[in-house]
Amino acid sequence: MPRVVVIGPPGSGKTTVGALVAALLGVPFHDTDAAVETASGRTIADIFVEDGEPAFRALERAEVARAVVEEPGVVALGGGAPIDPGTQQVLAGQTVVFLDVGIADAAKRVGFDVSRPLLAVNPRASWVRLMGERRPVYEAVATHRVDTAGRPPEDVAADVVALLEAS
């Protein structure tokens, strides 16, 4: 079982902060998006284009379920993973940290490029819409919330570790 699962929207710093938290705790780091890409031999954008979002979500759901059982350290999920009801069930009972971020910081961090298929058309409006839909789910599945706005990843990671040590 992971020490912590990190969730949040695109640009919240899940991968960067997750890797820093893992280093601070001396545990492995696992990114489910990277694992899906490695297993499929394709980028997430290519999976979306070639097979469609439902096919990607099925791969993602399976990887999250596997990771929550087999990965011992810090697990970072893709931004849409917690939206899946099956994944929500898998996350029940886990320590889950929601990295919260506003659009200004998210835009600086991700640049809203083509590697993010759900943000490809009108990226800023798409991000705001996605966040409006996803925020209630992120908040419902999270055991902790950390604001990342305007903060360096090292400070956010230190806050996450402090939360873990306090609980």
pLDDT at 122: 58
Q: Tell me if residue 4 falls in helix, strand or coil.
A: strand
Q: Which domains does the chain have, with CATH numbers?
A: 4-166 (3.40.50.300)
Contact 105, 11 (CB under 8 A): yes
**CA angle at 21 for the pair 143 and 27, rounded to the nearest 5°:** 105
pLDDT at 85: 95
Strand partners, 100: 147
pLDDT at 42: 96
pLDDT digits (tens, 9 = 90+) for 29-80: 999 999 999 999 999 989 988 999 899 999 999 999 999 999 999 999 999 9
Average pLDDT over residues 85-110: 82
**pTM of the predicted protein model:** 0.88
DSSP assignment of the chain equals: --SEEEE-STTS-HHHHHHHHHHHHT--EEEHHHHHHHHHTS-HHHHHHHH-HHHHHHHHHHHHHHHHHH--SEEEPPTTGGGSHHHHHHHTTS-EEEEE--HHHHHHHHTT-TT-GGGSSSHHHHHHHHHHHHHHHHHHH-SEEEE-TT--HHHHHHHHHHHHHH-
More confident residue, 123 or 145: 145
pLDDT at 2: 84
More confident residue, 162 or 129: 162
Which residue type occupies 35?
A
Q: How confident is the model at residue 118 (pLDDT cuts 50, 70, 90)?
A: very low
